[in-house]
Structure 1
Amino acid sequence: MNAPLIYSHDTSPAAGIAVPIMPGIEWICMPLPFALNHINLWLLAEGAGYATVDTGIATPEVRDAWNTLLAHRTLTRAIVTHLHPDHVGMASWLEQEKGTPLWMSQGDYLTAKLINAGISPFSTTDLIKFFISHGLSQASAAAFEQRGNAYKSGVPALPERYHQLFADDVLRIGKHDWRTIVGYGHAAEHMSLYCDELHVLISGDMLLPRISTNISVHPANPYGNPLKLFLDSIDRFLELPPDTLVLPSHGRPFRGLHGRVAQLHTHHAERCEILLNACKGNAFSAAEIIPALFEREFSDPHQTMFAMGEAIAHLNYLVHAGKMQRLENTDLIRFTS
């Protein structure tokens, strides 16, 4: 059995309050309008100011929190781990209002631009058609249509310029060097940051202490295998020291990353086993298999989108592994084992 995680803090800070983690690193929670109700941001001391890792979603509450924080601080740059709204949503506002330049991978910057603009095959229309081909009900499809481009709501704009991050870049931030660790499966080109001197990993969404990161298939790459990419990516964290302090985007800072990687492998293996048993001798669409995979109902398009994408990711993984077959016709895609 894996050793339990060791948390460095008993509670998370109140929204918009900076809490020291160690000299030169501060922790901020920004509110989210979802069931997952906050994201962690990290301030790294740099000269007379701070680099922020991630920016929060674009809402008035997050803007007000930033204005309060920056009344006594200056931001030197915004290093964004990946394209999702809770991470990059405020990047344009921080650049325009506070002069904060964006640092980000090219894969996530360009994908964010495409989704924000609704350019096919990254549009809401393409996503709905893709999910319908995997069994999404007409009622759920209508809810998606009514919601429209939700990404643009959380990311109204993106800076027109950025500093490109590459895998294994070494960033000098204040007194310390931070190495980028690229990860795949959750986003196009997710960048975590690791400081060897401090034994600190800013993991973004690639390694969370209590929940499993959403792994989804998207219409632009319908036969992709993001689950394998994700599992291969988190194995790179096994190269880091066992006592590394992990600063995740959701949940409290923790130690025990080796055990957490093992837990995530076990979790996804169990999900795959559920699918194999459910589809043995039967053929189901991704939408039809969701109740077996998650054992709960999803009442809003946001959660349905995650559930559909993740169900397809596990099914594709099993097809790539030769354990399932994909049955495709003009109307509906099903899977069988």
Structure 2
Amino acid sequence: MADGSTRTTVAKDARGLTYPLDVVPAPGEAIEVARGFFWLRFALPFQLDHVNIYAIRDGDGWVVVDTGLKTSATIAAWETALDGALGGRPVTRLICTHMHPDHIGLAGWLCERTGAPLLMSQIEYITGRMLMAEQAGDAPADGEVFYRAAGWDEAQIERWRADYGGFAKGVSPMPRSYRRLSEGDALSIDGDDWTVVIGSGHSPEHVCLWRRSDDVFIAGDQILPRISSNVSVWSTEPDADPLGDWMDSLAKLRALLPEGLFVLPAHGEPFYGVHARLDALKRGHETALKRLERTLRQPSRVVDGFPAVFGRAVGDGVLGMATGEAQAHLNYLERRGRATRTRDENGIDWWTAVEQDEETT
């Protein structure tokens, strides 16, 4: 377990962010980044190759935030951390920011291993439990309709069918009960109050935690320093507007959080510069929407919007997430009267921009 001596100020990057730490924790190790607050990092077997975990000293034990994916390597790293970096002290509570597998993957295992209760927001817990119930090979017909409408070909739909039900592969069975976290709740941890701040868009009811006494903020995936969180529409709610939720959350956080905040993200490194980052995230989506409207001057499918939304071509390895995010941008435009769609006889949606009067642009 390292102490606070690793904190050093470095120059701002091109985004206006400052990263005060010049090291990252090895798997199973922990670095103290604020008073009584420790940073761990576990590997992910994806292009995004890590997730950050946080442990907050709580009397003689720890409050842990997020768990990593259910893999043998992550379990081994947790065993090393619990007995080593965390000093064999008990875990008093487990908080999961949201229900994505890299955040709740070992929630059931860790709660059973330590006896700690699970704390989550209601929608995230229920959604996670729902997704755990999906069976491999039981791809719903509604999903086929959704992806065909987006412009997928038959081979892509067949691969989706074959891979369906993969959520439970990365998540241990979740606890059958939990303690609910809601906006504005105050959690007492080692004598400090941590305020629950809820975000939305990346996931429906994402929990962030703010220690106001020294402005330490556990951001999860709600504010990442170098990448933008995926904001997607899925076949379970094809007309949803998660990008609208996301933009509203960015505005809410911009108004709520002080510029001097120390942000602890789920991916990347802890940083200062929260206002600059929130502004950049907002600009990024606004730019993508403008590019997409230009694309829609000609009737286009969801998959035709990838270059506008992402600024590059997209491979089949991330086709589902790319489709979800492009769909989110199109639904956003449709909700605001800036695009329309028509479904053809083959079940494919064709999207077209709505010309805007000068007074409304």
With normalisation by structure 1, the TM-score equals 0.94
- Alpha-carbon offset, residue 128 of structure 1: 4.3
Question: Which residue is 1:46 aligned to?
Answer: 58
2:159 corresponds to 1:159:
no
How many Å separate the matches in 1 of 2:94 and 2:141? Answer: 31
Kindly tell me: are residues 234 and 328 of structure 1, through their superposed partners in 2, closer, same or farther at Cα, counting changes over 3 Å? same
- In the alignment, structure 1 residue 5 sits paired with structure 2 residue 5: no
Aligned pairs (5 A) from 1:111-190: 111-118=127-134, 126-190=142-206
How far apart are residue 3 of structure 1 and its match?
6.2
**Deviation readout 1:166-215 (Å, 9 max, x if unpaired):** 11110011121111111111112111111110101101101000100100
Q: C-alpha displacement at 1:32, in angstroms?
A: 0.7
Say how many residue pairs are matched.
Answer: 331
For residues 241 and 62 of structure 1, do their structure 2 counterparts lie closer, same or farther at Cα, with a shift above 3 Å needed?
Answer: same
Q: 1:127: how far off? A: 3.6
CA displacement at 1:291 relative to structure 2: 3.4
Secondary structure, counterpart of 1:284 in structure 2: coil
Deviation, structure 1 residue 126:
4.3
Residues 291 and 308, structure 2, Cα contact 8 Å, conserved in 1: yes
Query: CA 1:234–1:292 in 2, change beyond 3 Å: closer, same or farther?
Result: closer
Where does residue 256 of structure 1 map in the other structure?
273
Give per-residue Cα distances to partners, 1:125-171, cap 9 Å, x unaligned. 64444222211222222222222312111113111010111111100
Q: Match of 2:41?
A: 29
Asked whether the equivalents of residues 93 and 116 of structure 2 are also in contact (C-alpha less than 8 Å), the reply is yes
In the alignment, structure 1 residue 314 sits paired with structure 2 residue 322 = no
Find 2:257's aligned residue among 240, 256, 262. Answer: 240
For structure 1, the residue ranges without an aligned partner over 5 or more in a row are: none
Q: Which segment is superposed worse, 223-232 or 136-145?
A: 136-145
Residue 290 of structure 2 corresponds to residue 273 of structure 1: yes
Question: Structure 2: which amino acid aligns with 1:108?
Answer: E
Distance 1:216 1:37, change over 3 A: same
- The 8 Å contact of residues 28 and 77 in structure 2, kept in 1 or not, is answered as yes
3-state SS of 1:118 partner: coil
Residue 325 (1) aligns with residue 340 (2): yes
Is the deviation greater in 221-230 or in 309-318? 221-230
1:237 is paired with a residue of what secondary structure? helix
Structure 1 125/69 Cα, relative in aligned 2: closer, same or farther at 3 Å? Answer: farther
Shift of 1:285: 1.3
Q: 1-side partners of 2:197 and 2:210: how far apart?
A: 7
Q: CA deviation at 1:243?
A: 0.5
Relative contact order, higher structure (CA 8 A, sep 6+): 1
Q: 2:320 aligns with which of 274, 281, 305?
A: 305
SS state at 2:252 partner: helix
Cα 1:298/1:16, change in 2 over 3 Å: farther
Deviation at 1:123, TM superposition (A): 5.9
Report SS of the residue matched to 2:180.
strand
CA distance in 2: counterparts of 1:128 and 1:87, whole angstroms = 28
1:125–1:33: structure 2 CA closer, same or farther, 3 Å change rule?
Answer: farther
Contact 2:119 2:178 in 1 (8 A): yes
2:240 and 2:331 in contact (8 A); partners too: yes
Deviates more, 1:134-143 or 1:289-298: 289-298
CA contact (8 A) 1:115 1:123 kept: no
Unaligned runs of 5+ residues in structure 2 are 1-13, 354-361
Secondary structure of 2:21's aligned partner: coil
Which consecutive segments of 4 or more residues in structure 1 shift more than 4 A? 122-126
Larger Rg: 2
Residue 284 of structure 1 contacts residue 335 of structure 1 at CA under 8 Å; is this kept in 2? yes
In the alignment, the residues of structure 2 paired with residue 128 and residue 26 of structure 1 have an alpha-carbon distance, to the nearest angstrom, of 44
Distance 1:257 1:127 in 2: 37
Partners of 1:124 and 1:213 lie apart in 2 by 26
1:223-262: per-residue Cα shift (whole Å, max 9, x none)?
1111110111122222211110000001100111011111
Q: Which residue of the other structure, out of 93, 108, 112, is the alignment partner of 1:96?
A: 112
